[in-house]
Amino acid sequence: MAHIYVFSPSGAVRDKVAFRRGLQRLKELGHTVEVDVAALQSHTRFAGDDATRLAAIHRAAAAGADVALISRGGYGLTRLLPELRYRILAKAIEKGTRFVGLSDFTAFQNAMLARTGAITWAGPALGEDFGAEAPDDIMEACFDDMLTGQGEGAGWQFSRQTQQTYADRKPGVWARDAVLWGGNLAVLTSMLGTPYFPQVQKGVLFLEDIAEHPYRIERMLTQWLHAGILAQQKAIVLGQFTQYKLTPHDKGYKLDTVVHWLRSQLRIPVLTDLPFGHVSTKVCLPVGATVQLLVEDRDALFLWAHEHSL
Amino acid sequence: MAHIYVFSPSGAVRDKVAFRRGLQRLKELGHTVEVDVAALQSHTRFAGDDATRLAAIHRAAAAGADVALISRGGYGLTRLLPELRYRILAKAIEKGTRFVGLSDFTAFQNAMLARTGAITWAGPALGEDFGAEAPDDIMEACFDDMLTGQGEGAGWQFSRQTQQTYADRKPGVWARDAVLWGGNLAVLTSMLGTPYFPQVQKGVLFLEDIAEHPYRIERMLTQWLHAGILAQQKAIVLGQFTQYKLTPHDKGYKLDTVVHWLRSQLRIPVLTDLPFGHVSTKVCLPVGATVQLLVEDRDALFLWAHEHSL
């Protein structure tokens, strides 16, 4: 099984019960778990000050692990982006370490892609996923697939509404040899216009977010649209947008309104319902990998080339 | 007195009592008030659909008024930016119409600056300011100064902490002949990387926001920093950041932490306490005008050239 290195590049771990339960679960699954010395540090809202978190990231790269897994997201990575030693990190990835995480970790993943082209994995975090009272079966199976290099892909079923929207399109390959990129919408939007934002042409962009009102999601997508980024992609795949609150002022304005509006602005397909985001059931996706996007009826499938496996 | 045209480019007006009280107050002050035909329209959360709000903006420009005043902010302007008829709007401004507003209107103001160089005014909105149960004296005096062209400047006193931070700097002109730009941080950040974002070098940037947690303010400022925009300015002036909620997770992280961090990243001065934002007491500031920034002890003063007055 795998050697998993757990580290904290963003927010301080507050739920230590979930943290320990996560470590226990990974051990139960047969993995060797190594915990970074600063994994439980706390400096205001951060898992240690900038120097501490930077050192933790570089230790995760130096550990020679199969997986460098974040303890949790939060906030703190964008501050560190100018200080990351990109070449060393890319070297560790080349040697076989998979950096896995989501949410704030989106900043690391897309900066790595922008600066080095290295592939990282959008996937679970230790605490919320492996540390859940009942870890999700699909999440664990996808994590395992990533480790073994088997089942090089991720499939899901989208809504009937999405199916009807694209009823005129032929089933088959909707995006061929496209770079998969994306992650958390707010985090990635906060990198737009900086040297850490990937310049991906003809890619497939996947997005998710938590606790962002649909008008804010729309405002961010409007920025991407006006920056000319969305129209340059082959497809956009929306994951799970969760835990926002509509208000009486919205008067019928909702997430669907935003999706409908987005489609009216673009010729490329905007798929929905990707099982990825701040939800239990999540797939593992290789950020920066070249993928194929296959669609038939309500089924979508990402396929990617086999990479080094354990 | 002035001919004031009230229009709604962003969110639907829900507080009609404040709206009417605002109209009444402007009339009491001796102004002639004209209300746009769509000012009270509602389409989900917007003051009418995109076409309606676009038409309202262009009617405001065509009215030949001294002031085109927004009814309120909200959200909705960034969607419209590609459809604005910039040349026509700039012509109206040249002929003497001052576009006045804040918050979501930041998008209009900075897009106008980016596309035409025209000057607009960061200032009050009808409902929340003139429609308040007791409109603020300073706000009304500054609005009046703007109208009459008298008192071409705005002064304020900043905190002792800010004074101490820059104790080594000589009093006097801290920014000479600098373009004043800015407004709402979240709205302006949502324009970064788009053709509507002003490319201001050696300017003075003022910023305010409402209901944004300090970590989000920091994340936005980090984006500006990494995009290279902040270091290119002569000074940054922070207005009022209000109505956010700290949480137990913050453990001492607060707005001051962000200001302190920002200063550590920059050689230019970061002043504070500008009376502008989602607060009653607000000055009127010419977005896009060339200003002088004078500082002595705890006093700061913006001065700008006399423009056409009534």
Across the range A237-265, mean pLDDT stands at 98
Give the catalytic positions of B in this structure.
103, 208, 278
Q: At what angle do helices A86-94 and A106-116 cross, to 10 degrees?
A: 90
**Minimum distance, in Å, between the CA of residue B46 and any CA atom of chain A:** 8
How far is the first Cα of chain B from the last one, in angstroms, to the nearest whole number? 8
Which CATH number is A153-304 given? 3.50.30.60
Residue A208: active-site member: yes
Per CB-CB distance under 8 Å, the chain B contacts of A252 are 44
d(CA B71, CA A180): 43
ipTM associated with this complex: 0.97
Q: At what angle do helices A255-264 and A214-226 cross, to 10 degrees?
A: 20
pLDDT at residue A124, as a whole number: 98
The contacts of residue A24 (CB under 8 Å, 6+ apart) are none
Q: What type of residue is B80? A: L
Among chain B residues, CA nearest to A220: B190
How far is the first Cα of chain A from the last one, in angstroms, to the nearest whole number? 8
| List A103, A190, A212, A218, catalytic entry | A103
Could you tell me if A67 and A126 are in contact, meaning their C-beta atoms sit under 8 angstroms apart?
Answer: no
User: How many CB atoms lie under 10 A from the CB of residue A120?
Assistant: 27
Could you tell me if B179 and B290 are in contact, meaning their C-beta atoms sit under 8 angstroms apart?
Answer: yes
The contacts of residue B258 (CB under 8 Å, 6+ apart) are B214, B215, B217, B218, B221
Query: The pTM is what?
Result: 0.97
pLDDT in tens, chain B (310 residues): 899 999 999 999 999 999 999 999 999 999 999 999 999 999 999 999 999 999 999 999 999 999 999 999 999 999 999 999 999 999 999 999 999 999 999 999 999 999 999 999 999 999 999 999 999 999 999 999 999 987 689 999 999 999 999 999 999 999 999 999 999 999 999 999 999 999 999 999 999 999 999 999 999 999 999 999 999 999 999 999 999 999 999 999 999 999 999 999 999 999 999 999 999 999 999 999 999 999 999 999 999 986 544 3
- Strand B204-210 and strand B172-184: the pairing is parallel
pLDDT at residue B214, as a whole number: 98
Residue B254 is encoded by which pair of tokens?
A: 């607060």
d(CA A170, CA B136): 62
Which residues in chain B are classed under CATH 3.40.50.10740?
3-148
Across the range A89-102, mean pLDDT stands at 98
List Cα–Cα distances, A94 to A69, A267, B112, B214, in angstroms: 16, 36, 48, 37
Which residues in chain A are classed under CATH 3.50.30.60?
153-304
Per CB-CB distance under 8 Å, the chain A contacts of B78 are 219, 222-223, 226
Which CATH number is B3-148 given? 3.40.50.10740
Per CB-CB distance under 8 Å, the chain B contacts of A190 are 189, 219-220, 222-223
